[in-house]
Structure formats: structure tokens, C-alpha cells
Structure 1
Amino acid sequence: MASHRRPKQSSQAYTAMVTATAAAAVAVSAQSASADPLPDPNKKGVQAQVDRLYEQATQAVEKYNGAKEKAGVLQKEVDALQDTAARKRSGLNDLRTRLGSIAAAQYRSGGLDASVQLLLTSDPDGYLDKASFLDQLSAQQVDALEQYQSQQRDLQQQRGQALEKLKDLQDTRKELGDKKKEIQGKLAEAQRLLNTMTAEERAARSAEDERANRSSERVELGNEGSASQRAAAAFEAAKSRVGMPYVWGASGPNSFDCSGLTSWAFNQAGVSIPRTSQDQANAGTRINSLSALKPGDLIIMRTDLSHVGFYAGNGQILHSPKPGAQVRYESIERSGMPFMWGVRIG
């Protein structure tokens, strides 16, 4: 079996990694969680409470990521609708100018018809419904009036659609703010609890994380190939990020949450996949058995599908696990998170 060795990092990159990791683990900047092992429900004490808070924060992170992605889509739709409405408004103004010319010509030839006055000042629909008035206009004039009526209706429809999208966007942005507060609250409470631990307890926790990071450098992955060239390319990209810090809401290139790592890696392979773990769970062909997975397949973890990583071979997952941790390899069995299914991207 082949042994994985993490590439050496420059001192500058290492300093940045340490700084970012410390910031993620210590405070509520705008950075923190997406996937910690499920704590033992029978375990008591501060350690278990911190683990539960981290898990709750990571679950909220994926909802935050989903709301952020939705907000981006809605903003593009609103911009497109507003651009279309602006073009229609411009065309309507041009047509109104033409109608003004018709009215001026009528006035010079014998006075402005009251029906044309009604059209230009208020309701063209009501005007066109009066067939007796149409008899007084030429075919060209009628065509201009009908165009005006049609474009005015289109403009009203575009404005209505834009207003609906704007409301959706406002609601989604509120959801974003709520999720951000929830995440920050969970992390702040976790930090408060960590601060109550003795120096010996904190040292033991740090040592446990460091052991996990070191064991990642010596992991045996085996020699099994990926199911496709794209999966292989994405997996290679993810492997190049080993040692990068976990940061909630981050999608690379130097920090990641769980789904940020997988979406970034596939993007490097020229494949666009959804941003959240829940959406990635349905992004390709489902693989129900761990034994059927190949390196580069996605692994969906937890019953709420709130964690995702790459299958790395030999029972290992490559993932960005939790606040204060780094992108690393870890035994799926020992991760403490239930395996739901794998996803093969083609």
C-alpha cells in the first residue's frame, strides 16, 4: 500500500494556516464550522458539550451556505429582470414619442381627437376597447397604439416579477443573518466552555487534535484508482489542500468548510457541483455501500446530510472536519459520524 506524505508548506503559508486556525477556534469573527464527530451521548462534561456545540454549528453552516447560494441566484435574477424592465421602459418611451407625433399631426390637420388625448394621458386599454374610436385612425396609428398597449402590459409584468424576487431576496438575506448569528452564538458558547477547562484539559484536547493531524500525514491509502478522470482530478486537488485550516463558509483556496473543500476541488477539475452537502448528496450516482466506493467519490455523513468529504481509499475520508482542525485524512469508522451513502460524479 502507498503511504501518503503531506507536501511541505512555506513558512509564510504555515504562519497563515496557524493564524487562521487559531482565529477559527477562538472567536466569532466570521469564520468557523461544518462537521465534527457525533459526541458520545453518555459522555459527560465540558468536552462533550463543546463537541455538541461544534456539531450544531456545523449543521447551521450548511444551511447558511445554502441560503448564501440562493441569495446569489436571486440577485442575478433580480438584476436581469430590472435590466429587462429598463429596456422595455426605454422602448415604451420611444413608442410614446411616436404617438405624440400622431397626436400633433391630428391637431394640425383639424384638432386633437378626445380619444387620443385619453390615450396619451391615462388608459390605452380603455381606449382600444372602444371600437368606434379606432375607425377614426389609420392602420399605422392603430398598430402603434396596440404596440404601446402590449409593451405597457409587459413592463407591468416585469416589474411585478422583479418585486417578487426582491422580496425573496430580502427574506433570504434575513435567513443568512439569522444563521450567521446562530453559528457565532454556538462557537462563542463553545469557546466560553473551553475557557473553563484547566490548562491540563486544554493541552490534552490540543494534543488529541495534533495527533489526528499527524496521523493524517502517515495514512495508508492503497493503490485503488478512481472511477473517472474527473473524480481523480478533483481528489488530487483536494489532496493538495491537506493542512489548510477549517473556516466556516470558506471555499478555498487556503481555507475551507466541508462542502467548500469538495465543491472547490471539483471546480479545479472543471466540474461544477452544488455548494452544500445536502445538495451534493444528490449531485451524481448514489453508492450505498462503503465497499463499492472508489477514491474521489463523495462521502455523505450524518442523518441530516450535513457533512461531506472525499473517499480516499482504505477506509479513509479526506475532509475539512471542524473548527480548529485542518483538512486531513481520517478513518471513516473512527470519525464518529454515520455514513449515509456515497456519490459518484462523472
Structure 2
Amino acid sequence: MGSHRRLAPTSGFNRGAGAALCVLSAAASALGALPAAAAPHDNTKAEVDRLYTEAEKATEAYNKAGENAGTLRRQVSDAQDRIARQQERINTMRESLGSLAGAQYRSGGIDPALALLFSDDPADYLDKAAALDRIGAHQADRLRDLQSAMRELSQERAEAIRKLADLDRSRKAVAAHKKTVEKKLAKARTLLNSLSYAARAAYDRASRDARGVIPDFGSALPASPRAAAAIAAARSVLGMPYIWGASGPSGFDCSGLMQWSYAQAGVHLPRTSQEQRYAGRRIPLSEARPGDLIVYRSDASHVAMYMGNGEVIHAPHPGAAVRYDPVNMLPVSSVTRV
């Protein structure tokens, strides 16, 4: 596939640059310093990494929008149930009021002066009138209850309409973020496919496992039994693929791995890395212990789990498996002890 032509210093990316230079470009950390001639490949790798970073940010936005949509769906469903129950209550109240009105009519609910005038037994009339007064007072209370129930129903319906509008916006946000992720990943794949076979293989090897060995985690103990259980869960899926929007068990994105791991310890974490940074007590990096969450970048768009001795486990990016990496692989934003 490749030729042996040399690249001019100012040339762009060229598929025929040579397998050796591609390997050096894609796996610099493993193979040592790069010669100047490998710069075009370096630029391609940097662009792929940038696209993966942007895709990861869009993935966390997708996760958040999806979480919002799920919450709103439940709220809309609950509101619909409340509306149905309230409507049933109102129907029952209306039937009761109708029965009272019928009873009043049958009991002679006419003008009191005329009723007294035509009554054969004034004493009997006065007894009936007293009963009708009680029915009227009871009916007035029922009417007030009905009016109150109808106001509540109207408010419930208005709230349900607002929730449905919010749900529609969340669904559109999910679709928009999904489109952004897929666009970034498609562009990254196109760039990777433009590399030579050797360069692409080297990049894939670097993505699967940057070092290929299990690091030394030192002797630090987990911060709690639940942290120990979460660590064990995360280690059990080492090597599982990064799948954007996934939270296990057959694939994970970064926050999905944290949520799933702590779920195995009986702890519910929020879905996104931005929310996970507030899921416990914030501590300095110098005090990090195994099981703590390490949140990266100023926008908190990536998260990993501290394992000890300067190492983390995380789901890095598309094309990469769950793996160990140095804690300083990216700028650390915060550390959270769950």
C-alpha cells in the first residue's frame, strides 16, 4: 500500500508516507521520540484525538438529555394518573350533587312562601324546610369541593402540558447530541482509514492498551467497603469496549462505567460525569484513595476511578477498551469521594 517517497517538510498527510513513520506517529509513547518526518501522522492522530474528545463531550450531553427525558416521561405518566384519578373524583362529586338536587326537587324544593301557602300541614312543612336547609348547606359544601377539585384538575393539566413540552425538547436534544456524536465519530473513522495499515494497527494497539501491563497500585486501601466493591466491579470489566451512551455490562462510556461499578456496590450515581463530581465529598488529589472519582477537564467531560499509586481505570474513548492509565493523563478538574 505504501511507497518509499519522502514527504516534503510542508506537505499534508500522505497515505504513502511509509509504515515505519506511521508506527512511530501512532505509538510514540511506546516507541520513543518521533522524527520530524512523522509530523503529518502526528497531526492526524491529534485530530482523531480531538474528535474523540468532542464526541465524548457530546456523549455526556446525550446522556444528560436522555436522563432528563426519562425523568420527564415518568413525571408525565404520574401526572396523567393523577389527572385520571381527579377526573374520576369530579365525576363522582357531580353525580352526588345531581342526587342531592333530585332529592331537593322531590322534597318540594320550591319557593318557601308558596310551599307554606299550599301546605296541608304547616308543621310538616316546617320540618321539611329544616331538612331542605340542611341539604342546601351540604350541597353548597359539595359545590365548593367540586370547584376546588376542578381547579386542581386544571392545574394538573397545565403542568402536564408543560412537562410534555419539556419532554419534546429533551427528545430533540437527545437526537441533536446523537447526531453530533455520530458525526464526530464518522469523521474520526475517516481519518483513521486514511492512515496506512501499519499506522492504523499501531493506533489501535495504543487504544486497546497503552502499556499492556497491569500497573502497581501500591498499598493504599479503598476509602470504604462500597468503594472496594466498586473497584472490584470496574476491574471485572477490564478490556470491555467503549460504547458511547452505554452503561454496561457489555460496553461503557466513561460515566457509564462509574455508574455501573458503583451500582454493583449498591450505590446509585447520576448518569453524567458533570453530575458525578457532586455525588460525594470533594477532596484534593493528594488525598485520593482507591475508589474515588477523578473528574477531568474544566467542563468535567471525562471521569475515571482512582486505583492507587497514581493509576486510574476508565473507559477512554471510542475504539479503546476499559483500561488503566496514569491519573495525570488529562487535566484533573476535581476528585470526589462517594
**Which bracket does the TM-score occupy, shorter chain normalised?**
0.7 to 0.9
Q: Residue 104 of structure 1 aligns with which residue?
A: 102
Q: Deviations over 1:120-178 (max 9, x none)?
A: xxxxxxxxxxxxxx989622111221111111111111111111111111111110110
Please give the root-mean-square deviation of Cα atoms over the aligned residues, in Å: 2.2
CA contact (8 A) 1:319 1:327 kept: yes
CA positional deviation for 1:235: 1.1
Q: Would you identify which runs of 4 or more consecutive aligned residues in structure 1 move more than 3 Å? A: 106-113, 134-137
Q: Residue 4 of structure 1 aligns with which residue?
A: none
Matches within 5 A, 1:86-101: 86-101=84-99
Q: Residue 297 of structure 1 aligns with which residue?
A: 292
Q: What secondary structure is seen at the aligned counterpart in 2 of 1:45?
A: helix
CA positional deviation for 1:204: 2.2
Match of 1:174 among 172, 175, 178: 172
CA contact (8 A) 1:216 1:328 kept: no
- Which amino acid in structure 1 is aligned with residue 334 of structure 2? W
From the superposition, tell whether residues 279 and 242 of structure 1 become closer, same or farther in structure 2 (CA, over 3 Å): same
- Following the alignment from structure 2 to structure 1, what is the Cα–Cα distance between the partners of residues 208 and 158? 56
- Following the alignment from structure 2 to structure 1, what is the Cα–Cα distance between the partners of residues 213 and 202? 20
Q: Residue 187 of structure 1 aligns with which residue?
A: 185
- Following the alignment from structure 2 to structure 1, what is the Cα–Cα distance between the partners of residues 236 and 230? 10
Match of 1:342 among 331, 335, 338: 335
- Which amino acid in structure 2 is aligned with residue 267 of structure 1? A
CA contact (8 A) 2:204 2:319 kept: no
Match of 2:44 among 34, 43, 46: 46
CA contact (8 A) 1:216 1:329 kept: no
Q: Residue 125 of structure 1 aligns with which residue?
A: none
TM-score relative to the length of structure 1: 0.76
1:196 to 2:191 alignment: no
Q: Residue 136 of structure 2 aligns with which residue?
A: 138
1:225 to 2:225 alignment: no
From the superposition, tell whether residues 243 and 91 of structure 1 become closer, same or farther in structure 2 (CA, over 3 Å): same
Matches within 5 A, 1:195-344: 195-212=193-210, 215-289=211-285, 291-333=286-328, 336-344=329-337
CA positional deviation for 1:105: 2.7
Q: Residue 79 of structure 2 aligns with which residue?
A: 81
Q: Deviations over 1:231-279 (max 9, x none)?
A: 1111111111111111011111121100001011111111111111000
Q: Residue 31 of structure 2 aligns with which residue?
A: none
5+ residue gaps in structure 1? 1-41, 114-133
CA positional deviation for 1:216: 4.9
Aligned length: 280
Q: What secondary structure is seen at the aligned counterpart in 2 of 1:153?
A: helix
- Which amino acid in structure 2 is aligned with residue 343 of structure 1? T
Q: Deviations over 1:166-201 (max 9, x none)?
A: 111111111011000000011111111122212232
CA contact (8 A) 2:289 2:307 kept: yes
- Which amino acid in structure 1 is aligned with residue 337 of structure 2? R
- Following the alignment from structure 2 to structure 1, what is the Cα–Cα distance between the partners of residues 220 and 104? 84
CA positional deviation for 1:317: 0.9
Matches within 5 A, 1:35-74: 45-74=43-72
Q: Residue 148 of structure 1 aligns with which residue?
A: 146
From the superposition, tell whether residues 111 and 300 of structure 1 become closer, same or farther in structure 2 (CA, over 3 Å): same
The one of the two structures with greater contact order (alpha-carbon pairs below 8 A, sep at least 6) is 1
CA positional deviation for 1:43: 8.5
- Which amino acid in structure 2 is aligned with residue 70 of structure 1? N
- Following the alignment from structure 2 to structure 1, what is the Cα–Cα distance between the partners of residues 317 and 186? 15
CA positional deviation for 1:209: 2.7
- Following the alignment from structure 2 to structure 1, what is the Cα–Cα distance between the partners of residues 270 and 212? 27
Q: Residue 157 of structure 1 aligns with which residue?
A: 155
- Following the alignment from structure 2 to structure 1, what is the Cα–Cα distance between the partners of residues 153 and 200? 63
From the superposition, tell whether residues 277 and 43 of structure 1 become closer, same or farther in structure 2 (CA, over 3 Å): farther
- Following the alignment from structure 1 to structure 2, what is the Cα–Cα distance between the partners of residues 310 and 112? 81
TM-score relative to the length of structure 2: 0.78
- Following the alignment from structure 1 to structure 2, what is the Cα–Cα distance between the partners of residues 248 and 168? 24
Q: What secondary structure is seen at the aligned counterpart in 2 of 1:152?
A: helix
5+ residue gaps in structure 2? 1-39, 112-131
- Aligned residues with identical type, % of pairs: 48
